[in-house]
Amino acid sequence: MDIRSDFHTHTNISACGAPDNTLQALLDGLCAGPDGVRVLGVSNHLWDSDVVGASPWYAPQNVPHVLAIREELKTADTHGARVLIGAEVEFTADCKVAITEEHAKLFDYLLITANHLHMKDFIIPSWIKEPEDVRFVLISRFKAAAETDLPVRCGICHPFFPISFKDTENEILAGITDEQYAECFELAKKHDKSIEIHSSALNPHLPLNEKGFCPEYIRMLGVAKEVGCTFHLGSDVHRPVLEPNLRLREFTEYLGIGKDRLTDF
């Protein structure tokens, strides 16, 4: 199967992007060459200034800042790839998406992030440490993100990845039942949210199978597949490297998710 898309990538306009990772560098790294990506979504971090409560890190990463990439795109060599301008939009501590409906329309698509759990005392209270409590946060925030309705097609990025809980990550995931996952993914399907197939499933600190994929993420995505969700690939690269996308293509094939279930937004 020829899967050649990636909808979760960052350039240097994200505060965490590599400084030399311009849009052109990203296009050269991901889209040039025989295995290059044919549909590229650029999704820099976003918090709309019209939504109160941005952290100091988010404040400069507002709508005009993120949309400036459209200017860069005008003169860029896309190597024949179709380029979509999206954003990775934050979900506030009280479970609201950090963009207005009006501004959402300015993007080709949006990825909603419900689990930036490394943002302590901003996204989650720092006292939350026990796997049971983390699971509660992951599930409740996923559901709220899934139910968000915006006037643009949305995906949910890095679903259930308990960022910053590396030591207990597998334990956290293992404690989420198939029924709990199904409930979450039913909501995502009902509200037309694409589920991201993300590089978190390939992290070497996790228990991995013979193919290098984490069984807990396989189970989670398997439930989403069973429920009938649609999917997109998201390497989440912050540098111009194709390798993570190539691995995700293998992972998608391994999951048995065919082109009919992949969205291009």
Is the Cβ of residue 48 or residue 88 nearer to Zn ion in the bound state? Answer: 88
The helix/strand/coil state of 262 is: strand
15/59 with CB nearer Zn ion: 15
Sheet arrangement for strand 193-198 = 5-6, 39-46, 82-90, 110-113, 154-156, 193-198, 231-234
Distance CA 220, CA 195 (A): 11
Amino acid code (one letter) for 40 = L
Enumerate the β-bridge partners of residue 84: 41
Nearest-approach distance from CB 161 to Zn ion, in angstroms: 8
> Which residue, 216 or 236, is less far from Zn ion as judged by CB?
236
Nearer to Zn ion, 120 or 190 (CB): 120
Residues 86-145 that bind Zn ion (CB under 5 A): 88, 113
Residue nearest to Zn ion (CB): 236
Nearer residue to Zn ion within complex by CB, 161 or 181: 161
Task: Based on the shown chain and the rule CB under 5 A, indicate whether residue 236 belongs to the binding site for Zn ion.
Answer: yes
Contact criterion met (CB below 8 Å) for 47 and 92: no
Least distance to Zn ion, CB of residue 10, Å: 6
Residue 255 Cβ vs Zn ion, minimum distance, rounded to whole Å: 21
Kind and range of the H or E run holding 70: helix 69-74
How many residues form the binding site for Zn ion (CB under 5 A)? 3
Q: Which stretch binds Zn ion (CB under 5 A): 51-59, 85-93, 145-153, 194-202?
A: 85-93
Binding mask 195-234 for Zn ion (x = CB under 5 A): ----------------------------------------
Q: How far is the CB of 219 from Zn ion (least distance, A)?
A: 22
Q: What is the spatial distance between Cα 184 and Cα 71, in angstroms, rounded to a whole number?
A: 38
Largest CA distance in the chain: 49
**CB nearer to Zn ion: pick between 68 and 258:** 68
How far, in Å, CA of 154 to CA of 173, rounded?
A: 24
Residue 210 CA to residue 212 CA, distance in Å, equals: 5
Can you give the binding site for Zn ion, defined by CB under 5 A?
A: 88, 113, 236
